[in-house]
Amino acid sequence: MIVCICRGASEHDVLRAIEDGARSLRDLQRCGIGDDCGSCHRDLRSLLALAAVAREAQPVGCAVCADAEVAASASA
């Protein structure tokens, strides 16, 4: 689905930019998405919010914890 009509950016393009580090509407605009008429800004903000929720839902482990898990599984 095309999200940004002016730039021809699809939802896939937006999600790729978010995966590559875009965290705000301004970041997306630097990628050339949503930097023209602005009619897509609501949709872009929604996609950014959904991505933020998904990131928060993923467990984040530190290197020390990961090393301890590997050591525990190796000794089992």
Q: Domains along the chain?
A: 2-75 (1.10.10.1100)
Q: How many CB atoms lie within 10 A of CB 6?
A: 15
64, pLDDT greater than 80 = no
CA distance linking residue 21 with residue 17, whole number of Å: 6
Alpha helix (H) residue ranges in the chain: 11-19, 25-30, 41-57, 63-75
The whole model's pTM is what?
0.72
Query: What does the block give as tokens for 29?
Result: 């605009």
Could you tell me if 50 and 14 are in contact, meaning their C-beta atoms sit under 8 angstroms apart?
A: no
Q: pLDDT digit string (tens) for 4-62? A: 999 999 999 999 999 999 999 999 999 999 999 999 999 999 999 999 999 887 765 66
Could you tell me if 29 and 41 are in contact, meaning their C-beta atoms sit under 8 angstroms apart?
A: no
**Is residue 59 helix, strand or coil?**
coil
